[in-house]
């Protein structure tokens, strides 16, 4: 795609210069003006496409970062993890003077293996980002649940929730240092949905049982509250999956954010609204 864009840019530039010269030599100023206008539009279009391709490339790089981190973790040598973690911290916009980053730097020494350095970066630096991500998910899921619970229009429900979900994915991407464009946002959403669909059967059974419990609790209050909680749980699951893809280091099973942690906040807010 990048090659096609480069070729197209070259042809546009060639055609523009040729048209300008011809119009200038013949004194056809109308053609000269139109050529300038079309060239301006083409330049804007090329710039937008180029920016989208760059953002898509950065998203793909973020996915490959997880694989690189896993490879360093499994190799368990010495000396590779620190520069790797430093680079992903810089990409995420983490200030070197931030308390968590400074604590991580001071915690490691030359005798620590790459596996230990990665584990410390995960538990010290990424844990802070995960906490912010969890707060984003809880707030977004609760707001989606409340919107559905109080809105009398089904169409408005769908639009509002869709907007909240897109905004949540954008906020999570910014948290981990990824700037999304249109196509990169669509790609990430597609991967999130595929990832959700491919979740293990055990996890789905556990989530479904808890979802039904939450729905039953809300159902004792009102049908709209039950619908709100259902939508809020879907938003929470979407956010958690997005976090697992955007995180530069894969979650350890014990550290992964559980849906139940978000569920309590959603049910609590809906219950307060309906009481």
> pLDDT per residue over 86-112, tens digit each?
988 888 888 877 889 999 999 988 889
Is the distance from CB of 62 to CB of 46 less than 8 angstroms?
Answer: no
- Which tokens sit at 231? 């939508």
Residue, of 21 and 237, whose pLDDT is higher: 237
Phi-psi bin for 143: left (phi > 0), alpha (psi -120 to 50), beta?
alpha
Is the distance from CB of 7 to CB of 13 less than 8 angstroms?
Answer: no
pLDDT tens per residue, range 134-181: 999 988 888 888 777 776 665 656 677 777 888 888 888 888 888 776
Is the distance from CB of 144 to CB of 222 less than 8 angstroms?
Answer: no
Query: How many C-beta atoms lie closer than 10 Å to residue 112's C-beta?
Result: 17
Is the distance from CB of 232 to CB of 48 less than 8 angstroms?
Answer: no
Residue 201 has pLDDT above 50, yes or no: no
Residue 14 has pLDDT above 50, yes or no: yes
CA–CA distances in Å: residue 163 to residues 26, 95, 235, 246: 54, 31, 11, 20
Which of 1-10, 57-66, 239-248, 263-272 is modeled with the greatest confidence? 239-248
- Let me know how long the chain is: 275
Q: How many CA atoms lie within 13 A of 28 on its CB side?
A: 11
- pLDDT at residue 79, as a whole number: 87
Contacts for 63-66: CB closer than 8 Å, 24+ residues apart: 63/245, 65/248, 66/247, 66/248, 66/249, 66/250
Q: What is the arithmetic mean of pLDDT over 262-271?
A: 74
What backbone torsions phi and psi does residue 202 show, to the nearest 5 degrees? -60, -45
Residue, of 173 and 221, whose pLDDT is higher: 173
Distance of CA 258 to the CA centre of its chain: 18
Output the average pLDDT for the chain: 76
Is the distance from CB of 116 to CB of 125 less than 8 angstroms?
Answer: no
Closest CA to 56 of 243, 211, 182, 233: 182
Least confident of 29-38, 153-162, 204-213, 244-253: 204-213
Closest CA to 259 of 198, 217, 196: 196
- pLDDT at residue 218, as a whole number: 46
Q: What is the pTM of this model?
A: 0.68
Residue 272 has pLDDT above 80, yes or no: no
């Amino acid at each position: 795609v990048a090659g096609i864009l480069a070729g197209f840019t070259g042809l546009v530039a060639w055609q523009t210069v040729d048209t300008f010269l011809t119009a200038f030599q013949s004194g056809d100023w109308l053609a000269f003006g139109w050529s300038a206008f079309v060239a301006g539009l083409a330049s804007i279009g090329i710039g937008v496409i180029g920016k989208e391709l760059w953002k898509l490339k950065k998203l793909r790089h973020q996915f490959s970062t997880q694989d690189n981190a896993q490879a360093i973790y499994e190799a368990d040598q010495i000396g590779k993890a620190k520069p790797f973690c430093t680079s992903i911290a810089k990409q995420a916009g983490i200030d070197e003077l931030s308390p968590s980053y400074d604590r991580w730097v001071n915690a490691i020494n030359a005798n620590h293996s790459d596996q230990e350095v990665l584990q410390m970066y995960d538990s010290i630096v990424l844990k802070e980002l995960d906490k912010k991500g969890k707060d984003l998910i809880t707030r977004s899921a609760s707001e989606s649940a409340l919107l559905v619970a109080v809105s009398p229009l089904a169409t408005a429900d769908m639009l509002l929730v869709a907007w909240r979900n897109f905004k949540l994915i954008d906020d999570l991407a910014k948290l981990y240092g990824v700037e999304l464009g249109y196509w990169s946002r669509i790609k990430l959403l597609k991967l999130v949905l595929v990832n959700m669909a491919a979740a293990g059967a055990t996890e789905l059974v556990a989530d479904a049982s808890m979802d039904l419990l939450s729905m039953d609790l809300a159902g004792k209050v009102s049908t709209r509250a039950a619908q709100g909680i259902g939508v809020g749980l879907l938003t929470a699951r979407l956010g958690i999956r997005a976090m697992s893809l955007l995180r530069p280091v894969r979650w350890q099973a014990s550290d992964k954010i559980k849906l139940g942690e978000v569920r309590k906040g959603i049910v609590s807010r809906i219950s307060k609204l309906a009481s």
